[in-house]
Amino acid sequence: MHFGGMRAVDGMSLELRRGEILGLIGPNGAGKTTMFNLIAGSLRPSAGQILAGGADITREAPERRIGRGIGRTFQIPRPFAEMTVLENVLTGAQHQTGENMLANFLQPGRVSREEHAAVDKAQGLLDFLTLSHLANEPARVLSGGQRKLLELARVLMADPKVILLDEPAAGVNPALLEFIIARILDLNARGTTILLIEHNMDMVARLCGRIIVMAQGKLLREGKPDEVARDPAVIEAYLGVAA
């Protein structure tokens, strides 16, 4: 993937295994978020392939990816600011009959049943992420940390098999950090595969069985957290000097 003459991600290969939590780390500008945008379909690669469960999705539109079971959150949260927190989460629901314009007139009963089910589910997710007390507030009043949680609730509403988490703990206070780690472990225990971008090495070490280090758009190292953390090449990439 290149932007003009700049190669943001180049010759990079990554395999996400079912049920794992894979950490993607690297210094700022390494191309981690670009990698995410490629997998999520927000960007199209200039070369290469993206496979999901064997299917080639390289050219599939971003709005089709969730149907493949791939959900994502954004590094800088993108709440629907003027909508309530509950409605934000409801928007994540998939296959809603009520999203068909005419069905609202022709099948009102079915739309209503699905909406009730969706509201129950959304309230459950808000409980899971301790946002219930804010359900009817507009999303713009949320703090930075609460926005991170809302991102997560919204994507969980779609029941993704894989979640791409882009710095879910950036700028979050220590207590909330612990809470987010616990929730990610919870989700993973229930079978959700997770690809995590994170700078907090402690968090990465606690969550991830396997880590991939990127630097300057390329794969630098792959391995277990403690191996990678000791690797001189990784340290050099982060600090810019041989340690």
Partner 1 sequence: MIELLSYGAFFLTVALTYAIICLGLNVQWGQTGLFNVGVAGFVAMGAYTSALLTTPEDPVRFGGFDLPIAVGWLGAALMAGLLSVLVGLLTIRLRADYLAIATFGVAVVMQLCALNLEPLTGGPFGIGFIPRPFGWMAEDRLTFGLLNLGLVVLTTLGVYLALERLLRSPWGRVLRAIREDEQAALALGKNAFAFRLQAFAVGGAIMGLAGAVQAHFIGFIAPENYVPMLTFQVWAMLIVGGSGNNKGAVLGAVLVWAVWAATAALISAVVPPELQARAAALQIVMIGLAICIMLLVRPRGILGEVRTVSRHVHEASGKK
Which residues contact partner 1 (rule: CB under 8 A)?
40, 42, 61-67, 71-72, 74, 78-84, 86-87, 90-94, 96-101, 104-105, 111-112, 115-116, 119-120, 135-136, 138, 154-155, 158
Rounded-to-integer distance, Cα 108 and Cα 98, Å: 8
- Indicate the residue among 154 and 237 with the shorter CB distance to partner 1: 154
- Indicate the residue among 39 and 220 with the shorter CB distance to partner 1: 39
Smallest distance from the beta carbon of 66 to partner 1, in angstroms?
Answer: 4
Rounded-to-integer distance, Cα 125 and Cα 131, Å: 8
- Indicate the residue among 25 and 164 with the shorter CB distance to partner 1: 164
- Indicate the residue among 110 and 224 with the shorter CB distance to partner 1: 110
Within the chain, how many helices (H) and strands (E) appear? 10, 10
Largest CA distance in the chain: 69
Smallest distance from the beta carbon of 187 to partner 1, in angstroms?
Answer: 17
Residue 192, token pair as written in the block: 């959700």
- Indicate the residue among 5 and 63 with the shorter CB distance to partner 1: 63
Distances in whole angstroms, Cα of residue 126 to Cα of each of 114, 132, 135, 162:
18, 5, 7, 20
Smallest distance from the beta carbon of 114 to partner 1, in angstroms?
Answer: 8
Smallest distance from the beta carbon of 59 to partner 1, in angstroms?
Answer: 15
Smallest distance from the beta carbon of 71 to partner 1, in angstroms?
Answer: 7
- Indicate the residue among 57 and 237 with the shorter CB distance to partner 1: 57
Smallest distance from the beta carbon of 162 to partner 1, in angstroms?
Answer: 13
At CA 187, angle to CA 9 and CA 26, rounded to 5?
25
At CA 151, angle to CA 220 and CA 117, rounded to 5?
130
Is residue 41 classed exposed, middle or buried when 0-12, 13-18 and 19+ CB atoms within 10 A define those classes? buried
